[in-house]
Amino acid sequence: MSRHSPAGPGLPSGGTSPPDRIGTAGEAAADAATRPRTPERSTGFTRCTSLPRRKRNMRKTAAKLLTVAALATSIATVAGGTAVADPAAGVTPRAIDFVGTGSDTTQAVVNQLAADYNASLTDPNAPRVYSWDATPTGTTITPKAGSAAIARPNGSGAGIKALTTYTNTTVDFARSSRGPQASDPSSDDFVSLAKDAVAWAAPVAGNAPANLSTANLKDIYTCAVTTWNQIDPSLPNATIKPFLPQADSGTRSFFLTTIGGGAAVTPGGCVTSGTQENQGSDTALADVNALVPYSVAHYIGQVYYGKGSGADVQGPLTIRNVDGVTGGPVDTTAKTISAAFAATPYSRVVYNVFRDSEWTSNATLRAIFGKGGWLCTNGANDIKSFGFLPLSSFACGSVTHS
């Protein structure tokens, strides 16, 4: 393996062609329906041969300064962006409203979809949709009027557990960035929302290469490999510091299953767990030897669409490639998940999860979240602006079980 410069997001790197798609039947159907076309690209680079060397060097220096200034402006814009979070101050969802908790990865886009849906209503008595963020951790929330205060569910797994622990007097749905698992209640309905992918991220000035294979990632997270030069002799003889999100993270679960080829790997003792997913602001991740799984859609939303704010920013991290996929995870021209990466096992469908008894009996719920419902019909612009790929009308709102 040759080392590539990791200086920016979505960098192409050489390597093997992407492996065949694997995943759940629901993910496969959604994948086939949502592969975007990759636009033609031009380098836009013309070599200058007529200028004296000194002037050419001055122009190169000026160009570098402008690039640094543009990057700083971009990061400042992202960090200063606003995001819809939790129900608005002073708003307590009513007993008739539909309230969700869970995934960190999808909280921002679901918050925005909920706000737009609510704004479309004219009947004050119609149920609204509200979504509680996964963070801040260690806090309590009162999801609905009349419900008891509960520990804020942080992650897909925690949101799904809340569906089992509580009734619809407290919470109605869970945001989930993973599909159904054997351990989930068979009475849970996973309703498709959008397409995402998971790659890995590392500090821009760190020791990690631009590309790792699936085998490399498995070796790193099982601690079979512990230094960079064990992967490639040209890399530093420095100890790798792999990180994973919190235990209930859907991104963590999906990543470990994917690098294990469909069977979740058990993290080794060299792995540090508990970082909040998709938050490059975590100072531990600034270590030159750090790497961590990262939602590609969330990264795109942070970097290109100003959807990050507070701790929810990419910080010094850049998204990296897996298995040498042509173009890498990000199509930097279209500002979306690349078509090639969306066709790998690292692509995934994200969901909203409901209790089957309520999903089948409540027509209003299905009219919002189901096939042909409000979110599937009107939500594409929101979904794209947060970095996700919209699903086809056939796939969006479809139901999957464990």
**pLDDT tens track for 25-68:** 444 444 444 444 334 333 333 333 334 444 444 434 433 333 33
CA distances from 280 to 78, 295, 338, 399 (A): 12, 11, 21, 33
**pLDDT tens track for 276-310:** 999 999 999 999 999 999 999 999 999 999 998 88
d(CA 69, CA 150): 45
Detail the DSSP E strand segments found in 217-364: 241-245, 272-275, 290-295, 317-322, 330-331, 336-337, 347-355
Residue length of the chain:
402
**pLDDT tens track for 131-178:** 999 999 899 999 999 999 999 999 999 999 999 999 999 999 999 999
In 3D, which of 5, 28, 36 has the Cα closest to residue 335? Answer: 36
d(CA 45, CA 259): 37
Give yes or no on whether 25-36+196-347 and 98-194+350-400 have one common fold.
yes
Residue 84's pLDDT band (boundaries 50, 70, 90)?
low
In 3D, which of 208, 179, 171, 232 has the Cα closest to residue 6? Answer: 208
Give CATH superfamily name and number for 98-194+350-400.
Periplasmic binding protein-like II (3.40.190.10)
Task: Give me the pLDDT at residue 378, please.
Answer: 98
pLDDT tops 50 at residue 24? no
What topology is assigned to 25-36+196-347 in CATH?
D-Maltodextrin-Binding Protein; domain 2 (3.40.190)
- The domain locations on the chain are 25-36+196-347, 98-194+350-400
Detail the DSSP E strand segments found in 119-203: 129-131, 140-141, 150-151, 173-176, 188-203
The structure tokens 């096992």 sit at 345
Region of 82 please: left (phi>0), alpha (psi -120 to 50) or beta: beta
d(CA 215, CA 218): 5
Are 11 and 332 contacting, i.e. CB atoms less than 8 angstroms apart?
A: no
d(CA 158, CA 163): 9
What pairs with residue 336 in β-bridges? 331
d(CA 195, CA 21): 14
Mean predicted lDDT score pLDDT of the chain: 85
